Each structure stands twice: as structure tokens, then as C-alpha cells.
A and B are shown apart, each in its own frame.
Chain A
């Protein structure tokens, strides 16, 4: 059974501050690492999909890094705004024996609250 772990479980951050959180995943048979943002009463929204060791992706004030050898990814938010309040989910995808890949294995998420 694969384990994808996210920390911290929840985080309160002052508006304007920067923050980061962690996703750890199995490094064996790595295929892809996904990050999603899930706001209350909405559907999960894809932020990044990373496939190569050392990948860095950026979308506005949000960025992510990937280390497939040690099995971790960081998500960074610069200058937090109230609209950044959401649950941030990471999900790992592992390769299967047939050259394809398994479905996504999600962590439990980091619940981020930005305080004005």
C-alpha cells in the first residue's frame, strides 16, 4: 500500500506572509506528482503536474519543486492572500509492470487558512 504524506495537516498564515508545505511519496517506480487546490464548495483544481527529478513549476505566486530520488515535493506560496485559503492536495502516480501507471494516490491534504 502506497503512502503519500502531507505536512502540516493545517496551517494558519497571516496575509502577506509566505508559506510552504511538504508532500512525501514513494520514490520507487515514480511516474508523476500532482498538486491540486480544493476550495470549499468547489471541485479540486489542478495546480501542477511534475514528472522529472528537479522539476520546478510556477503559477503566479505559487511554485513547486520535486525530488524524485528522495521522494518529496514542496509547494510554496509567496505573499499569501485570503483567496489562497483552501486545502492543498498532492497525489503520486507510480508506474506499473506493464509500462503504464496506476491511478493517483492522494495525501490527506494541508488545510491552509489565510488570516487578514
Chain B
């Protein structure tokens, strides 16, 4: 039973470029959330996708966008990269959008470095 998988593992980009990160949820899960973890901080919520729509969004600019596909996999896109976007990006999946007792299952993350 495959868990949450993310690709790529590491990525190096330069300022101004655009990047796409990918996530496949745990088998049977239909909800995908994305988090950014900067050094020394806890993960910060970017947005959540369910039924191919963005359902909740954290305090991130429009440069951060996403998509969910019919097979529940998801992409995170970041445009016009800034040095401050350097971070670990975590994807998490869960079952159901508003089931309070459901834990989230995390992938290993994508380490994005901006030069």
C-alpha cells in the first residue's frame, strides 16, 4: 500500500523562474494539502484540494497555485520565484474534506533551493 509520494526530491532554481512540484496521495485518499516549511519553523498551510477544487487557502500570494487531477494526485506551482521561497514543501493526504478525526499522511517532501 503506497504512501504519499512526492517528486522531485530536490530542486534548484533561480530567482524569477517557475517550478512545479508533484504529489500522489496515499491509496484511498481524496484530499491533498500542501505545506511550506522554512528553516526553524513549523509547516505552514498553503492550500487544500478536494474534488479537483481548491477548498481552503492559507496566507500565501497568488504566485502559489495548484491543481488536483481526477486520480486525486496534485501539483503545486510557484511562479516568479523569490529567494524566500527556499524551503521544504510537504504534501499531505487524507480521506474526506471535513472529517474532524482524520489524520493527515505526509510525503517526504521536496527540498526547493532558490539561487
Contact = CB atoms under 8 A, between A and B. Distances in A.
Contacts of A31: 100
Contacts of A101: 56, 98, 100
Interface residues of A, number: 28
Interface stretch (B38-46, B64-72, B73-81): B38-46
Contacts of B8: none
B16 interface: no
A89 interface: yes
B104 A34 contact: yes
A100 to B, nearest CB: 5
Interface in A74-114: 89, 91, 93, 96, 99-109
Most buried by B among A36, A44, A101, A106: A44
Interface of A: 1, 4, 31-32, 34, 36, 42-46, 49, 51, 89, 91, 93, 96, 99-109
Interface of B: 3-4, 33, 35, 40-45, 47-48, 55-56, 58-59, 90, 97-98, 100-109
